[in-house]
């Protein structure tokens, strides 16, 4: 099993706005960054449509195109971007830290920047799992197309659910929003948008009892949590938009995290509890979770890593 162990000065794990911004700064600082893209190259923005709130794009930009631009900029400045998934780490013995890619390729990294982002949460009911990919989806932008002209339902009441409902309303005949409380968490602007879209119907105080169908989604049974009354919606698509979980499980034996798995960074820095390991983006941010804040913390992580390496005489 022994193969050459690669030595890397700055290893970046993850390819969203945080990872690529860290790469841009690290490359310009001559840290020869190697970036592993992970399972979803480009991160969550690759499953978004219009991004209207990233400064510098007065007419907005499509998420995938923006991430392609991030990547091009990082590569042009000298980042070694690789397709692969970091599957295991050992941060127990101090720098250089050991990292395994795809369970085999071993790297000794003088500094590590974690920018692994977050993934969609699921309701956790049996029918949702069974029909995943057969009408159940956590990405309206990826899968909405399949339900053109049909009726669909979406669970959730945050900005993601509202944004996706709005997107689906343009493709589908009718969109039911299943909201568990009597109000929505989404911003006022997004609430206003969905409430004023004629083919979106918001079902408050409603929870999903079961997704109906054997081989594919044929409907959803919901229950009103005030009256316990059950009813069925005849929908072909069932979208789940109830938030995210940070992709940090592989670090949990070494890195301090909160009870939800978000990495804890030292105040005003991107430093973790382990020397030479830095974290940025959604893996450590449960409050803002924006592309622009992720990019900002990516910059912080690279600057902190650069100072750390210089202090150790590396750069």
Residue closer to ligand NDP, measured from CB, 163 or 306: 163
Choosing from 143, 282, 285, 304, which is the catalytic residue?
A: 143
For ligand NDP, give the closer residue by CB, 9 or 164: 164
Angstrom distance (rounded) from CA 32 to CA 39: 22
User: What span, in angstroms and rounded, lies between the C-alpha atoms of 255 and 146?
Assistant: 41
**CB of 25 within 8 A of CB of 299?**
yes
Please report how close the Cβ of residue 247 comes to ligand NDP at its closest, in angstroms.
15
Residue-wise DSSP of 262-314: PBP--TTS-B-SSTTEEE-GGGT-SS---HHHHHHHHHHHHHHHHHHHHHTT-
Taking the complex as a whole, the smallest distance from the CB of residue 150 to ligand NDP amounts, in Å, to 22
Distance of CA 47 to the CA centre of its chain: 9
Residues 139/47, Cβ–Cβ less than 8 Å? yes
φ, ψ of residue 85 to 5 degrees: the values are -125, 125
Which helix or strand (DSSP H or E) is residue 68 part of? helix 63-76
Closest approach of Cβ 277 to ligand NDP, in Å? 25
The one catalytic residue among 30, 90, 102, 142: 142
Closest CB 70 distance from ligand NDP, rounded Å: 18
What DSSP assignment string belongs to 76-139? HTT-EEE---EEEEE-TT-SSEEEEETTTEEEEEEEEEE---EEE-----HHHHHTBTTTEES-
Q: Which is nearer to ligand NDP, 132 or 273 (CB)?
A: 132
First to last CA, the chain: 32
Chain contacts with ligand NDP (rule: CB under 6 A): 53, 123, 155-161, 163, 180-181, 185, 242-244, 289
Active site residue 143: yes
If the CB atoms of residues 34 and 165 are measured against ligand NDP, the closer one turns out to be: 165
> Shortest Cβ distance from residue 53 to ligand NDP (Å)?
6
Residue nearest to ligand NDP (CB): 158
Judged by beta carbon, residue 161 or residue 274, the one nearer ligand NDP is 161
Q: Please report the sign of the dihedral spanned by the C-alpha atoms of residue 301, residue 306, residue 307, residue 313.
A: positive
Residue 299 annotated in active site:
no
172 is catalytic: no
Q: Between residues 43 and 158, which has the closer beta carbon with respect to ligand NDP?
A: 158
**What is the closest distance, in whole angstroms, from the C-beta atom of residue 210 to ligand NDP in the complex?**
13
Q: Give the H/E segment covering residue 22.
A: helix 17-28
The answer to whether the beta carbons of residues 109 and 97 sit under 8 Å apart is: yes
Q: Are 200 and 175 in contact (CB under 8 A)?
A: yes
Q: Which residues are catalytic?
A: 139, 142-143
């Amino acid at each position: 099993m022994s193969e050459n162990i690669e030595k890397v000065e700055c290893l970046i794990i993850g390819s969203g706005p945080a990872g690529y911004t860290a790469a841009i700064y690290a490359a310009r600082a001559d840290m020869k960054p190697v970036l592993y893209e992970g399972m979803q190259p480009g991160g969550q923005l690759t499953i978004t449509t219009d991004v209207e709130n990233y400064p510098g794009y007065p007419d907005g930009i499509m998420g995938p195109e923006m991430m392609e631009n991030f990547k091009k900029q990082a590569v042009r400045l000298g980042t070694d971007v690789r397709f692969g998934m970091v599957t295991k780490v050992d941060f127990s013995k101090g720098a250089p830290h050991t990292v395994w890619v795809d369970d085999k390729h071993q790297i000794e990294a003088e500094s590590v920047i974690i920018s692994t982002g977050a993934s969609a949460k699921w309701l956790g009911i049996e029918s949702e799992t069974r029909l995943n990919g057969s009408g159940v989806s956590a990405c309206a932008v990826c899968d909405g197309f399949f339900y053109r002209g049909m009726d669909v339902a979406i669970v959730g009441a945050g900005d993601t659910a509202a944004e996706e409902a709005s997107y689906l309303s343009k493709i589908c005949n009718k969109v039911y929003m299943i909201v568990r409380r009597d109000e929505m968490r989404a911003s006022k602007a997004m609430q206003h948008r969905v409430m004023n879209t004629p083919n979106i119907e918001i079902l408050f105080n409603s929870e999903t009892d079961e997704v109906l169908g054997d081989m594919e989604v044929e409907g959803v049974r919901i229950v009103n949590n005030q009256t316990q009354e059950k009813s069925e919606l005849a929908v072909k698509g069932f979208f789940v938009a109830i938030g995210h979980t940070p992709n940090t499980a592989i670090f949990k034996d070494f890195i301090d995290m909160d009870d939800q798995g978000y990495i804890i960074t030292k105040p005003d820095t991107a430093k973790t509890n382990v020397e030479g390991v830095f974290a940025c983006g959604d893996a450590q941010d449960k409050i803002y979770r924006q592309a622009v804040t992720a990019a900002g913390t990516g910059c912080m992580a690279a600057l902190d890593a650069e100072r750390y390496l210089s202090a150790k005489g590396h750069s």
